[in-house]
Amino acid sequence: MTEAPRLDRQVCFALYSASRAATAVYRPILDDLGLTYPQYLVMLVLWESEPRGVKDLGEELGLDSGTLSPLLKRLEALGFVERRRSGEDERRVAIHLTPAGRDLSGKATGIPQHLADAAGLSAEELEQLRTTLGRLTEALHRSH
């Protein structure tokens, strides 16, 4: 008789649990910044390079427009971003940081270290984990 799958041996559950735990560590810091975790991810992309097209943001974050649009509207209402239509093509919208959105970057600089400290892993271990998870994500995307 084949043994039934066990929850504690499932990679998917370990990933789910780790994601929830990491988000819980981020939550109080992000609350202080006035951001949710998905909004923080959008801001990370914009802090790297802006302006960014809505389609480009969605592709980088793996979010569809139905999820991304409300995030961007909320970030705009908070005064962190501006949505501007392209002068060349009215259908295209670019997302720009406002001065307040740029300033928020400085307040967020300690967030990655806070997670590392909470995890109790070395910088090398965290980088190895990130690399492994990136490879897993790419392989799973290719598989379907």
Q: What's the token pair of residue 129?
A: 């984990």
What is the rounded CA–CA span in Å between residue 108 and residue 20?
Answer: 20
pTM score: 0.86
* DSSP one-letter string for 45-93: HHHHS-SEEHHHHHHHHT--HHHHHHHHHHHHHTTSEEEEE-SS-TT-E
What is the rounded CA–CA span in Å between residue 102 and residue 79?
Answer: 11
Residue 65 pLDDT greater than 90, yes or no: no
What is the rounded CA–CA span in Å between residue 77 and residue 69?
Answer: 12
**Residue 87, pLDDT score:** 72
User: Is 34-108 a CATH 1.10.10.10 domain?
Assistant: yes
Average confidence score pLDDT of the chain = 91
Domain ranges across the chain: 34-108
Provide, rounded to the nearest whole percent, the portion of the chain with pLDDT above 70: 100
C-alpha distances out from residue 136 to 7, 43, 83, 130, 133, Å:
20, 24, 34, 10, 5
Write out the H or E segment, with its range, that includes residue 40: helix 37-48
**Residue 136, pLDDT score:** 94
Mean pLDDT of the 113-142 span = 91
